[in-house]
Amino acid sequence: MSATDRTDRRRKPTVIRRHPPFTRLWHWVNALCLAILLMSGLQIFNAHPALYWGQDSRFDAPALSIGAERSDTGELRGVTRLGGWRFDTTGVLGVSGPTADRERRAFPAWATLPGPRWLSMGRQWHFLAAWIFAPLLAAYLLYLVIGGRLSRQLLPRRHEWRQLGSVLWEHLRLRFPRGEAARHYNLLQKLTYLLVLFVIAPLVVLTGFTMSPTLDAAWPWLLDLFGGRQSARTLHFLCAFALLAFFLVHLLMVLASGVVNNLRSMITGRYALPPEKEPRDDTPSR
């Protein structure tokens, strides 16, 4: 073994303090809240599995509906309608459960909280989690803005925009910045976090408010902002699925870019910058 090899081995990766305690606490409480909010939300949706646009529900023309129909052979089939399209979604949407004991329900039992049909209980979980999620979100956004983290870490620098194409390409190949470049969020991370934190999350709270008849009386502008209560309900649903999509991509990225290092940075705050050079597979990309 040569001397350089040995020094390479002994060289420790640079460890930085990445996430302050408030971010870490917020992240995990949030993760729990969002899981409860999504699943209890699907339970609530199941009480009237259709979405509309506008002030009220035009029952004969929903934008989306999930239902069940009997086929010619007398079998229960789940049917999802989106605009003019019709999909057979038996097993997941409309009709689900063990084959011997199919049940009519929009979202399946494994996706709702509680599992069985129980609207009043779903609502209690939803509002409890919402009371933790929304104030923490407001506090966290204030912390980002007032504490300066927004401008320091999240707002893209002008020069970064030029790298959009290459960053996108690198991400698609699941290759992530290393060394000093990993010290800061890259452009895609910044844009994603800005979108989720400052657009989708506030939107999900405000559209939730708009579904409350009391809050509509207190703040009539909510109805004007979203074009009606049923539009707000549809947007609430879309935001929830946007957050779910974010969660799935977030999970994939964490798994692909060093799961232990990422998890540790969100638990203890410490993040090891991935070593500059990967010894193998260093294709001449530049």
Taking the C-alpha atoms of residue 206 and residue 165, their distance in angstroms, rounded to an integer, is 34
The distance of closest approach from Cβ of residue 114 to other proteins in the complex, given in angstroms and rounded to an integer, is 5
Choosing from 4, 7, 99, 120, the residue that interacts with other proteins (CB under 8 A) is 120
Residues 6+ apart with CB under 8 A from 171: 188
Residue 57 or 163: which CB sits closer to other proteins? 57
200 secondary structure, DSSP code: I
Using rule CB under 8 A, residue 212 touches other proteins: yes
Using rule CB under 8 A, residue 227 touches other proteins: no
Residue 67 or 187: which CB sits closer to other proteins? 67
227 secondary structure, DSSP code: T
The distance of closest approach from Cβ of residue 245 to other proteins in the complex, given in angstroms and rounded to an integer, is 17
Number of residues interacting with other proteins: please give it, by CB under 8 A: 49
Helix or strand holding residue 104 (H, E): strand 103-105
Choosing from 13, 20, 148, 220, the residue that interacts with other proteins (CB under 8 A) is 220
> Is the CB of residue 19 less than 8 Å from the CB of residue 257?
no
276 secondary structure, DSSP code: S
Q: What are phi and psi of 176, to 5 degrees?
A: -115, 160
Cα torsion 133, 39, 25, 256: sign: negative
Using rule CB under 8 A, residue 127 touches other proteins: yes
* Amino acid symbol at 101: D
Q: Which stretch binds other proteins (CB under 8 A): 88-96, 161-169, 196-204, 225-233?
A: 225-233
Give the footprint of other proteins on this chain (CB under 8 A): 32, 35-36, 39, 44-45, 47-48, 50, 52, 55-59, 110, 113-116, 118-121, 123-125, 127-128, 131, 211-220, 223, 229-230, 233, 255, 259-260, 279-280
